[in-house]
Amino acid sequence: MPDHRAGGAEENMKAHDVTMGRRQFLKMATAALAAPAAASLAACSNADSAGSPAAAPASGSGVEGFDGTLVVGFDQEFPPYGYVGNDGAYTGFDLDLAQAVCQREGWTFKPSPIAWDAKDGLLNSGQISCIWNGFTIEGREGDYAFTDPYMENRQVVVTRADSQIATLADLAGKNVVTQSDSAAYDLLNADGAQAELAASFAQLQTIGDYNTAFMMLESGAVDAIAVDYPVASFNIAGRQDSFKILDEALNSEHFGVGFARTDAGQALADQVQRDLQALDAEGKVKELCEKYADQGVSYDLWVLPKA
């Protein structure tokens, strides 16, 4: 797999150049019997002094300010994209994708579970490198440095199997719950595309995670859940006698990987996108889609063109 870490010899030369005093350097550069290695060292120094005073790209990244460890922020209760597996380890389609990218680049992969409503602060403070967790692009384009869309998604409504709710219009006068700061909430809030529909609800509640939402629905505390389709599919797998997904969707949207809206963030987004395209060309993306097919992930929904 490609490894973009700088070579050891060149790195040692640069380190020596940084620590060498100006007077000693000038003596070496002008010495009549200077060795070729010293001349090469001087060339390195000239290149460094002509550039920006900012720190050079860290080993393993090729992106200024990135140290080669990709800290992936994700909601650990958002299957099938990111969740805790039966073995207690973090797993999921998006986490597997992120790990495959890191393997290609020689980066260190570090999954970091986060509170979803704290994601922006964590990203902008540098505590996480990106948000990679079924992250909807639409409506957030100006807030993040995104990759191009890689997966199509839709927001749907889940009800109890014995419910009389069959269409979105039937939600009038009903209690609906969704995850706080989620794509579904963005659709249903006062400024969202489905604000008029939400105005017909008896109540729109928010909750921290969808596991709790499904328990609320099962107990009768709410009448419906607004949720991502694959998350709905995962949660009702084997429980179709308890839940159903309405045929009529709230919308259609796309997932991307979100980085901080900076030059470095955009550079990382561009590199990750190239790696995703390469992984698709190699068949890895299709392999992962098949791994999570029983949880609502389908290669037919992959939309990022091959490189």
Q: Are 297 and 255 in contact, with CB atoms under 8 Å apart?
A: no
pLDDT at 61 (0 to 100): 57
pLDDT at 251 (0 to 100): 96
pLDDT in tens, 15-68: 334 343 433 433 334 443 333 333 333 333 333 333 333 333 344 556 888 999
Q: In the numeric block, which tokens belong to residue 157?
A: 């409504």
What CATH number was assigned to the domain covering residues 69-150+258-301? 3.40.190.10
Prior bond to 36 cis, omega within 30? no
- Say if 69-150+258-301 and 154-253 have the same CATH topology: yes
CB burial string 88-102: b at 16+ within 10 A, e below: eebbbbbbbbbbbbb
User: Is 3.40.309.10 the CATH classification of the domain at 154-253?
Assistant: no
Q: Structural domain boundaries of the chain?
A: 8-50, 69-150+258-301, 154-253
Q: Could you say which residues of the chain have pLDDT below 50?
A: 1-59
Phi and psi angles of residue 294, each rounded to the nearest 5 degrees, phi first:
-75, 0
Phi and psi angles of residue 216, each rounded to the nearest 5 degrees, phi first:
-65, -40
Q: Are 55 and 101 in contact, with CB atoms under 8 Å apart?
A: no
pLDDT at 294 (0 to 100): 87
Using alpha carbons, select from 152, 147, 149, 151 the residue that is nearest to residue 272: 147
* Distant-in-sequence, close-in-space partners of 250: CB < 8 Å, separation ≥ 6: 154, 155, 156, 157, 168, 184, 187, 188, 194, 197, 226
pLDDT at 175 (0 to 100): 99
